[in-house]
């Protein structure tokens, strides 16, 4: 069973084991990831053009982050000017309190939500339930996942772990008057019927934000199903929720980011819907929400911001390409991570949000193969950051900027590396060790079973290379 | 544009070659010497520091990195017959040593570091005659050679000079084999799942032999192929190239 936890390290091994043992799941993810990778590749036929675009994407995001406090002020100012009410939330709890308060203030009864990872991050659905509200997910994937009491397994495609047959069963069981069918169009039609009704009746719509433009006070939201448009235009009250890092400087920054986001995410040239929200209904307009609120969430981002290298984490535009290209994610699927953000970006964000004592182990599930960093549209050096977090996890330095630093340090491992250093900084000792390894191979300590369970034992050569070099040099002496 | 002729280079042997694939090191020396280049092999070398570095033990890695930077200090190219160790010298030493007295020296070393096949193909631009029987080989390029160093084409280009050699790559060639250093032990089940897929793709090519220019991948893939009982010998690319181009078994 899947669920997000604020202590993903706990039982990570068990979840890995279960995921690897689930052939159907691996097949689903392998198929879906291959499909998405191929589609992305087809969208970027010109490698040089792609690299130039990635430079631009990284520069735009870097420039925004460099002036983050100022841009946020400007955004607040422009939004207010446009009639959007702005709220600041330092923590997830603060955000949930603000949002429930806003709903109570308008006496909201029926709430619909467009797809938003920020609301997943703060656990909004649970908070709303606790406050006595029900909130219907209106993105098809999110709807399926919510109905099954699951959590998303991918940040772009929440139900990617599910196959047709299981969704068909679920709909037949849970939606009245729905016959069992595996016809995808019919399934989508069924879901759509339910959702249309919900949209028509909703009085509060909640959405995420992909980019917020400081210059104009515009909220940009991309999506494919129209649920974002419905959630933000039909109900009388619209509440947009975003992490503070999503702000960009100006409208002119948007085109390059839009050239990158859909193509990197789903391999689409552009999403079906691009919503540019710049305020509530004006007096001469006959539709649109009467109130628009923007909830800006920090939730640990300021801490990430403080470190020069780790700040790159905040460039993320949540496209999901890093997980689509990650060989570990492909084999585990999203749920094994136990986190809102899975895959490489999750391995970087989560330990920083929850602390290395709770999520440091996530950083170990990486072979540092570099596939994620190679595709990231805003050039986040994900492998470097994962390695850096490994370092902070075992670092005794009290000045470490990451919460829970040093808590992954095990005396046994630290001793191994100490010994390793002692040997490898003493070439004479090193030669003795390699001599022992090559001459008296049977005297070697046995390899960890972790290696030999899947592989034949290692076989050192009979003579080391360095021994050969010494003879070779003698032969070549004039 | 003619680069000034190179007469001397350093060889950084790597610890895995030292213990597990000495023939790859010998082949590297022979291939370079055959081009008229003097190969300097400082005896004080051990390892590049990747194992502790990738585990987050920066101090331990730094101690070894300092030793390498100090010892390989002449202004001549440093040749490394491994993509990941070359990547360590070229891309990670500068940041690892950025805050100390060796910062500049580390930058200098990084700029002189080459992966062996990159050096043979791009700098020396060697041309070779093939001396072997027809053979089909499958080439596995490591992730560091491919992504960090950007030299995946060099090994293939050298192989393509050899008339009797039919070169192929496995399906999903760019996928990681699952080695990742200590990852293979710390996350052994994930590593094994990746290696299993890599081995299947390699076996599906029905090649006679597996080549790679990274010993880590070779140990991982070959170890699993042997455990599976596959009859598919694995060899370091340098050793194969040396033998095919007229070199005796070193
Ligand atoms: S880290 Fe990069 S690739 Fe991953 S989701 Fe964020 S922007 Fe996309």
Domains and CATH numbers, chain B: 3-123 (3.40.50), 135-244 (3.40.50)
CATH architecture of A68-302: 3-Layer(aba) Sandwich (3.40)
Taking an 8 Å cut-off on Cβ atoms, the answer to whether B176 and A369 are in contact is: yes
A65, A208, A304, A319: residue to mutate for ligand 1 pocket, most atoms within 8 A of CB:
A319
How far away, in angstroms, is B146 Cα from ligand 1 center? 21
Antiparallel, parallel or unpaired: β A247-248 and B209-212: unpaired
Antiparallel, parallel or unpaired: β A237-243 and B209-212: unpaired
| Single pTM value for the model | 0.96
Please give the Cα distance from B8 to B35 (Å, whole number).
Answer: 11
Please give the Cα distance from A74 to A254 (Å, whole number).
Answer: 17
Which of B56, B195, B196 is closest, CB to CB, to A394? Answer: B56
Q: Is A319 in the pocket of ligand 1 (CB under 6 A)?
A: yes
SS3 letters across A256-269:
HHHHHHHHHHCCCC
φ, ψ for residue B59, nearest 5 deg: -60, -45
pLDDT of residue B5: 81
Which is nearest to A301 in space by CA: A292, A290, A312, A293?
A312
How far away, in angstroms, is A380 Cα from ligand 1 center? 7
Q: Is A260 in the pocket of ligand 1 (CB under 6 A)?
A: no
Q: Which residue of A has its CA nearest to B225?
A: A455
How far away, in angstroms, is B243 Cα from ligand 1 center? 45
How far away, in angstroms, is A266 Cα from ligand 1 center? 13
Tokens in use for B14? Answer: 């790597």
Residue B192 contacts A, CB cutoff 8 Å: yes
Which is nearest to A329 in space by CA: A312, A319, A341, A316?
A341
Chain B nearest-CA distance from A407, in A, is 13
Taking an 8 Å cut-off on Cβ atoms, the answer to whether B147 and A373 are in contact is: yes
Tokens in use for A258? Answer: 């839009």
pLDDT of residue A162: 92
> Domain boundaries in chain A?
1-43+320-409, 68-302, 417-476
A174-186 per-position pLDDT tens digit: 999 999 999 999 9
pLDDT band of B1, cuts 50, 70, 90: very low
Which is nearest to A35 in space by CA: A117, A157, A140, A152?
A157
Q: Whose CA is nearest to atom 6 of ligand 1?
A: A316
A139-156 per-position pLDDT tens digit: 999 999 999 999 999 999
Could you list the mean pLDDT of each consecutive 10-residue stretch along chain A, which spans 478 residues?
A: 78 96 93 96 97 98 98 98 98 98 96 95 95 94 95 94 94 94 94 93 96 98 94 96 98 98 97 96 93 97 96 98 98 96 97 96 98 98 98 93 94 95 96 88 68 90 94 70
Please give the Cα distance from A276 to A268 (Å, whole number).
Answer: 19
Pair B139, B237: CB distance under 8 Å: yes
Q: Is the ipTM of this complex over 0.90?
A: yes
Tokens in use for B62? Answer: 């730094």
Please give the Cα distance from A156 to A301 (Å, whole number).
Answer: 21
């Amino acid at each position: 069973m899947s669920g997000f936890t604020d202590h993903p390290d706990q039982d990570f091994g068990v979840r890995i084991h279960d995921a690897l043992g689930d052939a159907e799941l691996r097949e689903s993810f392998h198929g879906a990831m291959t499909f998405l990778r191929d589609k992305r590749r087809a969208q970027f036929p010109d490698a040089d053009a792609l690299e130039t675009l990635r430079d631009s994407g990284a520069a735009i995001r870097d420039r925004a982050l460099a002036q983050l406090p100022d841009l946020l002020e400007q955004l607040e100012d422009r939004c207010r000017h446009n009639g959007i009410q702005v709220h600041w939330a330092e923590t997830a709890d603060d955000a949930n309190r603000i949002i429930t308060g806003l709903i109570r203030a308008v006496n909201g009864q029926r709430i619909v939500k467009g797809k938003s990872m920020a609301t997943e991050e703060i656990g909004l659905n649970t908070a709303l339930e606790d406050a006595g509200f029900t909130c219907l997910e209106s993105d098809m994937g999110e709807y399926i996942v919510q109905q099954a009491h699951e959590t998303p397994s991918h940040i772009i495609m929440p139900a990617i772990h599910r196959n047709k047959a299981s969704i068909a069963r679920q709909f037949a069981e849970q939606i009245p008057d729905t016959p069992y069918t595996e016809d995808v169009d019919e399934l989508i039609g069924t879901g759509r019927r339910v959702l249309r009704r919900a949209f028509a009746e909703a009085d509060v719509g909640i959405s995420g934000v992909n980019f917020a433009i400081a210059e104009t006070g515009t909220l940009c939201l991309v999506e494919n199903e129209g649920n974002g448009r419905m959630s933000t235009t039909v109900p009388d009250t619209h509440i947009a929720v975003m992490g503070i890092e999503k702000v960009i400087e100006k409208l002119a920054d948007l085109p390059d980011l839009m050239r990158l986001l859909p193509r990197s995410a789903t391999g689409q040239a552009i999403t079906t819907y691009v919503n540019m929200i710049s305020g509530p209904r004006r007096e001469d307009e006959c539709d649109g929400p009467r109130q628009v609120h923007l909830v800006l969430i920090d939730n640990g981002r300021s801490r990430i911001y403080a470190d020069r290298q780790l700040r790159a984490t905040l460039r993320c535009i949540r496209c999901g390409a890093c997980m689509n290209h990650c060989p570990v994610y492909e084999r585990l699927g999203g749920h094994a991570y136990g986190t809102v953000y899975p895959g490489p970006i999750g391995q970087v964000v989560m330990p920083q949000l929850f602390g290395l004592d709770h999520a440091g182990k996530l950083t170990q599930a990486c072979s540092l193969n570099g596939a994620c960093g190679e595709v990231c549209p805003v050039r986040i050096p994900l492998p470097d950051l994962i390695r850096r977090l490994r370092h902070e996890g075992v670092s005794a330095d009290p000045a470490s900027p990451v919460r829970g630093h040093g808590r992954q340090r095990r005396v046994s491992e630290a001793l191994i590396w100490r010994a390793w250093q002692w040997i490898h900084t003493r070439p004479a000792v090193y030669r003795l060790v390699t001599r022992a390894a090559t001459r008296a191979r049977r005297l070697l300590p046995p390899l960890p079973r972790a290696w030999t369970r899947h592989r034949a034992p290692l076989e050192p050569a009979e003579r080391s290379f360095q021994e050969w070099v010494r003879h070779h040099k003698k032969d070549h002496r004039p | 544009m003619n680069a000034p002729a190179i007469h001397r280079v350093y060889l950084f042997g790597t610890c895995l070659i030292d213990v597990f694939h000495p023939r790859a090191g010998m082949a590297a020396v022979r291939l370079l010497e055959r081009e008229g280049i003097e190969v300097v092999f400082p005896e004080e070398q051990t390892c590049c520091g990747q194992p502790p570095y990738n585990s987050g033990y920066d101090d331990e890695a730094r101690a070894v990195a300092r030793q390498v930077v100090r010892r390989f200090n002449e202004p001549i190219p440093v040749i490394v017959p491994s993509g990941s160790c070359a990547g360590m010298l070229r891309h990670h030493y500068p940041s690892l040593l950025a805050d100390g007295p060796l910062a500049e020296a580390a930058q200098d070393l990084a700029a002189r570091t080459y992966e062996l096949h990159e050096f043979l193909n791009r700098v020396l631009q060697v041309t070779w005659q093939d001396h072997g029987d027809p053979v089909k080989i499958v080439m596995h390029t490591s992730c560091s050679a491919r992504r960090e160093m950007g030299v995946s084409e060099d090994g293939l280009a050298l192989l393509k000079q050899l008339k009797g050699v039919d070169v192929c790559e496995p399906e999903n060639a760019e996928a990681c084999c699952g080695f990742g250093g200590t990852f293979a032990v710390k996350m052994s089940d994930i590593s094994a799942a990746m290696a299993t897929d890599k081995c299947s793709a390699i076996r599906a090519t029905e090649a006679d032999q597996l080549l790679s220019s990274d010993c880590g991948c070779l140990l991982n893939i070959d170890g699993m192929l042997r455990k599976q009982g596959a009859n598919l010998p694995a060899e370091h690319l340098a050793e194969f190239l040396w033998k095919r181009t007229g070199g005796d078994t070193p």
